[in-house]
Structure 1
Amino acid sequence: MSVVNISCYKFVTLADREALKAALTARCLELDLKGTILLAPEGINVFLAGSRQAIDAIVAHLRADPRFSDLAPKESLSAEPPFKRMRVRLKKEIITMKHPLIRPEAGRAPSVPAATLKQWLDRGCDDEGRPVVMLDTRNDYEVAAGTFENAVDYDIGVFSEFPLRLAAHLPDYAGKTVVSFCTGGIRCEKAAIHMKAVGIERVYQLEGGILKYFEEAGGAHYRGDCFVFDEREAVSADLQPAAGRLHR
């Protein structure tokens, strides 16, 4: 497999999105990359595919901007690019929650790395002996492709439904440690901040999402595949395109 696929994001204020769009569009086309870059006032969200050389070049280009110097892309391989074209789009939010007071740049919720989470799930409790609840913040059709064992999900169609669904279940998390998770980390980061804001005491986001967990911990405690928003449709725990095709 010769195509490198990356995904990454950063919550950071972007006041020059038009200029950034033009510059990134030009560089991505020059490198013959395919995929999507989303630019919003709250930050950047990147999904790109191309040759090893081209991916290394665009990551270096992005990191040359001090705002993106710490981007840490998650990688997977495929035989063909899972995108048909290259688009840089301007959005109101890089992930739509419709809660403008949730600003991850102003302060993240605590995160748990994949290796630590695997230890918690192996034991059935966190380091302090509290039960661990895995909370899936993804949409219903994503959850259908695969999720963590015994994970809670609210059967949502779009992420903006999450706050209302959560509100009806706040007592469920008393005395427990909650780990929010999603595909690559962006939704579970916003969700974790919201959960802290509404009074859930012990909340973590899974650092890097399911894809980083697959990379560092394999498929332990996970059942099925991980839905991805490109033509692969899903990847297995070894980060290869899933054998079966999904149908929404």
Structure 2
Amino acid sequence: MTNEKKYQVLLYYCYVKIEDPEQYRFEHHKFCLENNLKGRIIIAHEGLNGTVSGLREDCERYMAYVKGDPRFAHTDFKLEAHEDHAFQKLHVRVKPEIVHSGLQHIDPNVRTGVHLSPQEFKQIKNADDVVIVDVRSNYEHSLGHFKGAVTFDIENFRDFPEKVKDLEQFKGKKIVTYCTGGIKCEKASAYLLEQGFDNVYQLHGGIIKYGLETDGEDFEGRCYVFDGRVVTDINKKNPSVVSKCCVCGKHSARMVNCANPVCNLHAPMCEECGWEMEGACSPACKEHPEKRAYDGTGYYAKEMNGYDPYHGLKNTQKHLS
């Protein structure tokens, strides 16, 4: 009897010009539906960004479909095995940016930091002339980060530019940025270059690729991911737990969203407190009238807000038949 996991989770992005995002969204979404894929995909004039899950063979078809388009032929997919779908639904949406940065004037295809492979990053990360910079949000780096990394007190990536002044003291050193899958670093490193930093690098493929292609050495804690898994393990050599339960203060690598949707705090919470607090981060949130039912995971599928994944497809199918 095999224990091989039948599903995969794909994480990817591609900065490339898309002339008609709405039309491509329709085509892309139709392919996902026909191949039983679930996930969150963002399409913009500046490119494509997604995390999808499906059976191994469906994911292989999806990667072939994406790379079969010359625009996305160089897309780098990060693949992780999983027991089931990592998503409950499929969302394919058009947005102004493929990651909300407020840096729409920056085109990573024109200028960005030097890409370092996971092995290259591993070799230089502890050098005296290197500063490792985490460009992720508070709730992400509080759960896990590279040993010795500079972190910022930010709620969203769009707050990153105002924190760059904190790096002025390191202008004479090599700055190496990292994030979950690499997409934020494309613009973060480009912005650093724009602000006068000379030696700027980025971890290509981010934390996920580093964990997949190395032993994950010196990544402390676990990595927050934007799917139903919520967190994933990275370090196979010297793993540790750095985050603490927001209720009792005990070390815990479990990440939850507060069951109160008005709060929706992303925070570590141990299993005991999770059940005791019914997934809420505080007594006030536990008593909130809109509190969601807690199932032990602390993960809540994104509300559709009127979004219909089948919109327009029925009419198209009738026209083609």
TM-score grouping bracket, smaller chain normalisation: over 0.9
Q: d(CA) in 1 for partners of 2:180 and 2:187?
A: 13
Q: What is the match of residue 157 of structure 2? A: 159
Structure 1 residue 205 displacement after superposition:
0.8
Who is 1:97 aligned against?
101
Matched, 1:219 2:216: yes
| Matched AA of 2:147 | E
Distance 1:110 1:77 in 2: 29
Deviation at 1:238, TM superposition (A): 6.2
Percent of residue pairs identical: 33
The Cα of 1:171 is off from its aligned counterpart by: 2.3
Q: Which of 1, 10, 15 is the aligned partner of 2:19? A: 15
Larger Rg: 2
Equivalent position SS for 2:109: helix
Write out aligned runs for 1:1-248 (5 A): 1-121=5-125, 124-125=126-127, 131-166=129-164, 168-237=165-234, 244-247=253-256, 248=266
Deviation of 1:50 (Å) = 0.4
User: C-alpha separation between the residues in 2 aligned to 1:217 and 1:170?
Assistant: 28
Per-residue deviation, 1:33: 0.6
RMSD over aligned CA atoms reads: 1.6
Relative contact order (C-alpha < 8 Å, sep 6+): which is higher? 1
Partner SS, residue 255 of structure 2: coil
- CA distance 1:151–1:244, shift in 2 (3 Å): closer
| Partners of 2:169 and 2:117 in 1: CA distance | 24
3-state SS of 2:18 partner: coil
**C-alpha contact (below 8 Å) 1:139/1:159 kept by paired residues:** yes
**Post-superposition CA distance 1:138-159 (Å, at most 9, x none):** 0100011100001001111001
Number of equivalent positions: 239
SS at match of 1:190: helix
Normalising by structure 2, we get a TM-score of: 0.72
2: CA distance between counterparts of 1:133 and 1:234? 25
